[in-house]
Structure 1
Amino acid sequence: MAHLHRQHGHGHGHDREIETLEKFDEAVARGSLVGRRVQSLDLMDRTFALLSADATAAVFLGCRMAPDAAAKVRADGALVFPPVPDVPFDPYRGLLYTPDELFAGLAGDGYEATPDARTYAWFQRTMRDGDIFASMLRAVHDDAISDALDERLAGVPVVGVMGGHAMARGTDAYAGAARLGRSLARAGLTVATGGGPGAMEAANLGAYAAPHPDGMLDEALLLLGKEPSYAPSVGDWARVAFEVRSRWPGGGDSVGVPTWFYGHEPPNAFAGHIAKYFANATREDGLLARCTAGVVYLPGAAGTVQEIFDNTTPNYYESRGEPTPMVLVNRTHWTEHLPAWPLLRALAEGRSMEPRIALVDTVEEAAEALLRLGGR
């Protein structure tokens, strides 16, 4: 489904998709569901509409329907993939996740009862079992998430902020990453991160703070510092984040792209839209490919190094077109502790990506460098 869309752009394929009841009602009002793809809708109250509309060549993915409605659309020639029972996620979902959805039940029953934790537990169990049906459900889910992410980011300038999960709240580094996210968002860019804790949460927090007065971020950082890390208690860590969101509603939007592969790392609550994957390789490649306005790399360890060179390869070969900006932050970290910068600079020498890379000392310089390299 989504692979064709990603190869050929954001054209008519997405126009055929129906992910909300509002879009369903609009299609029925025009008298036809012909060729439409209807994803994950509860259509139990739309029986008359299904009985009256032409559903030739339509596809219903995980939609709840009355038996007579399901029989009728099948008779029209539609394909009907029924909801999958007894799994804690919807493999056919048409929209990205929200923090409220993934953390539902946190306040009452704790993190282990949330859809996020229950899905991770299912993932761990089925990975051990080697169940081919579970493997298929994971693949369908991840493709649906990629499709939803494409729709969300179509035509939007996206800047990635990569960095380690170990960066604790209450530190200068965390505050700096948050200010970076705020600066990028205020420059009109959509911030995208790996969607987890640490540097990723900080950048999403900064984007959330962008519409608010400057003092809001300072207060939020103090509040978050009460729970510096998701270990030992994910629940306490997440509850403070939701307290910030409740105290300062109406925050700016950003995207998080986490994975259940690293299930011990929870998603953060500041990304307005969350594309959570089972397959980490799909998640990594998809995140970097969508960073059309470039990527800022904060200090990190193996995962961040991998992201640097995952992005270097298409920039080196220009396989995604013109190279996108890459800004590494913290000279000491990237030249001495983990010397990725000398290798990146050597690879870039004499190629079109050479004027699109930069090494800066501080996060305050990073946003300016990225905008300059991107010609903004």
Structure 2
Amino acid sequence: MQPTPAPIASLDREIESLAEFDEVVSSRGSLAQHRIQAVDLTDRTPELLSVDTAGAVFLGCPMDPDAAARIRATGALVFPPVPGLPFDPYRGLLYTPGELFESIVERGYEATPDARTYAWFQQTKADGDIFASMLRAIHDDSVSDALDELLVGARVVGVMGGHALARGTEAYEGAARLGRSLARAGFTVATGGGPGAMEAANLGAYASVFDDEMLTEACRLIAKAPSFTPSVTEWATAALDVRDRWPGGGDSVGIPTWFYGHEPPNAFAGHIAKYFANATREDGLLARSNAGVVFLPGAAGTVQEVFDNATPNYYESRGEPTPMVLVDRVHWTERLPVWPLLQSLARDRSMEPRIALVDRVEEAPEALARLAGAKAL
């Protein structure tokens, strides 16, 4: 019987790249009790045959069979890579746009890892196969771990809004300016990672390190493909062209899902935490928006997110309520009268100092700052 691994004391025992592996072996001379995630170790057989690996766990690390046998014999656990998958369930880092959209220019969106993973999900989500569901769960937990590591110490503002908002519209450009303002104020912008308002906010964060004219020009260029329908390939490559023209933009986070796989992820979020489970994705996005949430006009999904965020605020299950700013008075009081109900909930639990309704997107950053300085009654 294999011994039970001892608990890990700190994040410095996680190894998520070959460079980290080499540094640990060189500086510590031991891999005991470490967790090594999705690192190709086929060229590190001498190290694996010589260093202490007692209590270590190797998650999806390709390695020589002799090395695997040796480290198992010393008390390590080895979870081998799963062949034939279009994704790595043990991944240690978040996705990048280049990774998800790999080969899109040469072969089209259908050939990308993003599209192939969605196809795998469609094939397996209803077949009741415990192995497939386990792989999805492991993947999503790995993504959550990577997301938490990325956001340590960050002031995160979530930006929510409808996926149907088209490029080239005034509202799209307004959402982009919002993302830019938040990023320039030192916040990490986090969105649902998809098209529409989500893409606009991520684009704004990307543009935050350039002069103001860059965003205007970028919006003009991508407007040639206003929507991901009828062609995801044209829509995504227009965004990738902007990244190529202005490399090194500001970082932000996108948290999309293959549950809505017909909606592709946007290419402007530098870090993409893509999940299979939509419920995990939605709760995780709101829970990590520790500096507040801005809700742009949207339909059923955005309405759900308003109350998903209001519920823990109401019960104070995440500590002090986080600020909530709703943009577009007409939308939230007449088209979808969310605001009156939110006000009623807020009065009931003294949340009013943490919610605001503004007319224009340009007012949202100031409202967010005002609420962040307020004290709950």
Unaligned runs of 5+ in 2: 1-7
Question: How far did residue 130 of structure 1 move?
Answer: 2.1
Q: Is 1:245–2:238 an aligned residue pair?
A: no
Runs of 4+ in 1 over 6 A off after TM superposition: none
Counterpart CA distance in 2 for 1:111 and 1:17 is 33
Q: Is the 8 A contact 1:227 1:237 kept in 2?
A: yes
Alignment of 1:346-357 (within 5 A): 346-357=344-355
Q: Any idea what the Cα deviations from partners look like across 1:241-285, whole Å, max 9, x if unmatched?
A: 001001111100000000000000000000000000000000000
CA deviations over 1:56-109 (Å, ceiling 9, x no partner): 000000000001110111011000000000110000000000000000010100
2:56, 2:171 → 1: CA distance? 51
* 1:15 Cα deviation from its structure 2 partner: 2.4
Number of positions where the alignment pairs a residue of Structure 1 with one of Structure 2? 366
CA contact (8 A) 1:323 1:352 kept: no
Which of 48-57 and 197-206 deviates more? 48-57
- Map of 1:4 onto structure 2: none
Looking at structure 2, the residues matched to 336 and 238 of structure 1 have their Cα atoms a distance apart, in angstroms, of 34
Tell me the CA shift for residue 350 of structure 1: 4.9
Could you tell me how far apart the structure 2 residues matched to 1:74 and 1:100 are?
Answer: 35
- Residue in 2 aligned with 1:359? 357
Q: Residue 18 of structure 2 aligns to which amino acid in structure 1?
A: L
Task: Tell me whether 110-119 or 365-374 shows the greater mean CA deviation.
Answer: 365-374
The code of the aligned residue for 2:65 comes to: P
**What RMSD in Å do the two structures reach over aligned CA positions?**
1.0
1:136 counterpart letter in structure 2: M
Cα distance between partner residues in 2 of 1:60 and 1:153: 24
Secondary structure (helix, strand or coil) at the match of 1:230 reads: coil
Provide the secondary structure at the position in 2 that maps to 1:146. helix
Counterpart position of 2:13:
16
1:144 matched to 2:142? The reply is yes
Partner secondary structure for residue 349 of structure 1: helix
Deviation track 1:326-368 (CA, whole Å, cap 9, x = no partner) reads: 0000000000111111011100015342101000001000111
Counterpart of 1:156 in structure 2 is: 154
Trace 1:327-346 onto structure 2 (pairs within 5 A): 327-346=325-344
Aligned positions of 1:1-376 closer than 5 A: 12-29=9-26, 30-375=28-373
Letter in 2 for 1:18: I
Look up the equivalent residue of 1:24 and give its one-letter code: F
* CA distance in structure 1 between the partners assigned to 2:64 and 2:58 by the alignment: 13
Structure 1, unmatched stretches of 5+, are 1-10
288-297 or 342-351, which moves further after superposition?
A: 342-351
Cα distance in 2, alignment partners of residues 42 and 23 from structure 1: 12
CA contact (8 A) 1:19 1:95 kept: yes
Percent identity for Structure 1 against Structure 2: 76
Measure, in 2, the Cα distance between the counterparts of 1:333 and 1:80.
54
SS in 1 for 2:318: coil
What's the TM-score, normalizing by structure 1? 0.96
